[in-house]
Structure 1
Amino acid sequence: MAGKCLALVVPAGHAQRVRTLLKQRGWLNPTFRVVRNEDGSTSIPVISCDVSDWLVLLSEAGLESNKKLGTPDWRLVEGIEFPLCRHSPSPHERLFKAVSSILELHRDGPELPPDWRDQLPRRWERHGDLAIVDQQAFASPFWDSFAPELWTAVTKALGVRRLAKQGRVQPDGFRTPTVTLLLGSDGLVERRENGISYTWDICTCMFSTGNAQEKQRAAMWDCTGETVCDMYAGIGYFTLPVLVHGRAKLVLACEWNPNALHWLSVNLQRNGVSNRCRVLPGDNRKLSLDEEVDRVLMGILPQDPAALPVACNLLRRDRGGRIHLHLTVTSFPEATRSDKRTTWLAAAQSEAQRVETLLDESRAGKWKAVVEDVFRVKSYAPHMTHVVADILCRPH
C-alpha cells in the first residue's frame, strides 16, 4: 500500500537530524515511511507549513537555506509516493507491557505503589547494547524485589542486553556520573557519531548525546594548519571532530579527570589522530605553554570565570583567533523564537566585551572581539538554554 504527499528531500547524512526536528514540531507525516532515493538522498513525508518555518528548521539541521523553495542541499517536492507505515508498538508501549507482565506474575507480592506507572522510564539513552534510564525511573525500592527478572524484561523491551540507571553528577570537580548498573557486568560502551568512534565507561565518564549537533558543527570547521586548544577535552568530545574532520595541525587537549584521560588516549589511538594531539593532564588554569593557538574550545557548563583569561592569553599575539564559548542563557516559554535569539546574542556580546577587556588589559595595543554567531545546543534546565558563542578576536 502506498500514497502521495509533500516530501522534504535532504542528503542522507542529515536525514536523521531533520526527521527528529520534524517530529518535535509535529510536521512529520506519520502515515508514511521515509524513503531512500537512488541518488543517495532521502525523502521524508511532511505536512505543509509556512516557508519561514522551513528555513529555521533547515538552519538548525545544518543545511544551507535561503528564501527560495530549494537549494542544492534540500528541496520540497509535491506528490511523492511513499509506502504506508505499518503500526508497531513504540518502545514505551513495549516497556509498559513487559513491566505489567512481571507485575502480573508476582501479583501476590509487595503492594504496588500508587504512582508505579509514573516511575516507568520516560526517556533513556542507548549506547550499543546498553540503555541508561533517567534517575526518576524505578525510584521506589519496591522494584528491587523483582530483580533481575524485571531488568531482563526491560532490556528485551528496549532491545538491549545491559541496563543502567543515571544518578546525579558528583560534586568532585570531575563531573563524575553516579550510575547504577541494573543488569550487566560493566559500563564499557562504544558510540559512533559522524564517522568518529567514542569509547568510554558510563560509570566514570560523562557523555551528552544532546551535544551531537555541536560536535557535527565543530567537524565542519576548516582548521587546516591551525593549532587548537580544547580546554575541557574529556574523552575527546570536540577534540576528535576538529582532528578527524577539521584537519587541525595540532590540538592541545587539556583534561584533569584521570578516567577521562584514559579514554581520551584510547579514542585518539582508535581514530588514528594521536600524532596530532598533545594531551595536557591537569588544571587548565595553570597552563604553561610555549604555543600560541588559533582557536580555543571552552565546552563546559557551568562556566568557570577563571578560565576565560587563560583562553585569551593563548590566542596568537600577531593575529588573534577564535574562542568558542559555551554558556547558558535564561529564556521564557512565552518568548518568540526571534526574542530568544536576541537574548542569546545579547549574552554572547556581553561575553565578547569581557574578552575584549581582558585582551586590552593583558596585551599592548587595542583589541576587538566580535560575536560571529551564536548557536543553540540544547535545553539546559527549565527556562535555560545551552548556547555556543563564536567570538573572533583580532588586534585593532
Structure 2
Amino acid sequence: METEKTQFIKPRIRQVLSEKLPPELIQKLPKHWVQIGDVLILPLRPELEPYRHRIAEVYAQVIGAKTVLKKGRISGEFRETNYEVLHGGDTVTVHTENGIKYKLDVARVMFSPANVKERVRMARVAKPGELVVDMFAGIGHLSLPMAVHGKARVIAIEKSPYTFQFLVENIELNKVQDRMTAYNIDNRDFLGENIADRVLMGYVVKTAEFIPKALSIAKDGSVIHYHNTVPERLMPREPFETFQRVAREHGYEVEKLNEIVIKRYAPGVWHVVVDVRVFR
C-alpha cells in the first residue's frame, strides 16, 4: 500500500480500537501489514491475542479487506502457509501487480510481495520467442511476467496439485495459453533435455539438489536464474560457489552474470538469486 494511505489509516484504526482495548495495548497494534488482493495478513504480538478477532475486524473495515489472516510460518516442501483466519472466511483472491493477475489462496499458497522487484526484473530479462522452463512455478510468480510482458514461451512445472490449479487459472486469466504450458509433476520427472534458453529455479533452502536437472534442461549458453538461501557469513562467495562446483562435477563451465540479494529470509540468512550462463 502507498505510504500516504498507510499513514492515514493508522490513526483511524487506533481511534476505533481505543474504545475496545486497554490503553497500554494501543501502541502495540501492527504498524505494518501485508495486503494480497483483498486479503490482509497481520502480525500480532502475544499481548494482543485475546483481542485478535476485534482487531482484525477493524483493520478489515478501515483498510477495505474481505478477510484477515494472522501471520504464521511458511514451511514444507511446497512452501505452504500456516495462517489463522481472524476475520472473514474467503481466502482466495486475485492480486494484481505490474499488470499481471495472480489468483491464489492466501491461507495455503505462498506469495511474497517483497519479491516484487524480482518479478518485475523477470519481465524485463525475457526475450520474445525464447523458451523458458520454470522448475518451481508455483502460481506463476516469476514465469507469468516473462510470458505476459517478455512474450517468451514458458514451460511451467509445479508439483503441488493444489497450487497447480491456480497456475492453470492464472495462465487463462492473463490470456497466455498460446505460449505458456503447465505440468503438474516433479521437475525431476520432466523429460525435456537441452531445450531451454532460460531456466528458472525460484526455490530456496534445497535448491542446490536440483542443479543437475537444471543443467540437463538448459541449452549450451543458456541462462539459469538460481535462487537459494545463504547464511550471511558465506556471502558473497555463495550461492555461486556451490552452483559452479556442481556444474563442474557434471562437465559444465559457468559464468556469473549477476547477483541480487532479494530479502532477509531469517536472522543472518538471506534470499539470493544469481544469474549464471552455462556452457556444455
TM-score over 0.5 (shorter chain) = yes
Task: Give, in whole Å, the separation in 2 of the partners of 1:156 and 1:278.
Answer: 39
Distance between the aligned counterparts of 2:130 and 2:250, measured in 1? 21
- Cα distance in structure 2, aligned partners of 1:143 and 1:372: 50
User: Is 1:123 matched with 2:32?
Assistant: yes
Q: 2:270 aligns with which of 385, 388, 396?
A: 385
| Offset of residue 120 of structure 1 | 2.4
**In the aligned structure 1, how far is the partner of 2:90 from the partner of 2:203?**
27
Structure 1 residues 213 and 141 mapped into 2: Cα distance closer, same or farther (>3 Å)? closer
Q: CA deviation at 1:119?
A: 5.1
Residue of 61, 65, 73 corresponding to 1:160? 65
Q: CA deviation at 1:258?
A: 1.3
Aligned to 1:223, the other structure's residue is in SS state: coil
Is the counterpart of residue 263 in structure 1 residue 172 in structure 2? no
**Aligned residues of 1:348 and 1:374 also touching (Cα < 8 A):** no
Deviations 1:254-280 (A, max 9, x none): 111111100000100011112212212
Give the one of 155, 163, 168 matched to 1:252.
Answer: 155
- What amino acid is aligned across from residue 294 of structure 1 in structure 2? D
| Larger RCO (CA within 8 A; separation ≥ 6) | 2
| Count of equivalent residues | 280
**TM-superposition CA deviations, 1:327-364 (whole Å, max 9, x none):** 223337xxxxxxx9xx33x214303422431441xxxx
Query: Are 2:193 and 2:217, in contact at CA under 8 Å, matched by a contact in 1?
Result: no
Identity of aligned residues (%): 30
Q: Does 1:325 align with 2:226?
A: yes
Unaligned runs of 5+ in 1: 1-15, 21-32, 34-86, 105-111, 333-339, 361-366
Whether 1:99 and 2:8 are equivalent positions in the alignment is no
> Residue 98 of structure 2 corresponds to which residue in structure 1?
194
Residue in structure 2 matching 1:370, options 237, 255, 267: 255
- CA drift at 1:201: 1.1
Aligned residue identity for 1:283 = D
Partner of residue 242, structure 2: 351
Deviation string for 1:98-118 (max 9, x for gaps)? 2222136xxxxxxx9x7x457
CA RMSD after TM alignment: 2.8
Structure 1 pair 188–349 and aligned structure 2 pair: CA distance change class (3 A): closer
Alpha carbons of 1:188 and 1:141: their partners in 2 closer, same or farther (altered >3 Å)? same
What TM-score, normalized to structure 1? 0.64
From the superposition, tell whether residues 138 and 118 of structure 1 become closer, same or farther in structure 2 (CA, over 3 Å). farther
Structure 1 residues 355, 224: CA separation in 2 closer, same or farther (over 3 Å shift)? farther
Q: Matched residues in 1 for 2:248 and 2:84: separation?
A: 46
**Distance verdict in 2 for CA 1:280–1:330, change over 3 Å:** same
Partner amino acid for 2:112? S
Name the counterpart of 2:50: 142
- Give the Å deviation of 1:89: 5.1
User: Scaled by the length of structure 2, what TM-score is found?
Assistant: 0.88
Shift of 1:137: 4.0
> What do the CA deviations read for 1:199-253 (whole angstroms, capped 9, x no partner)?
11112211000110001100001322321110100000011011111111x3111
Q: How far apart, CA to CA, are the structure 1 residues paired with 2:215 and 2:193?
A: 14
- Structure-2 residue corresponding to 1:283: 186
Q: Distance in 1 between matches of 2:108 and 2:102?
A: 14
Match of 1:10 in 2: none
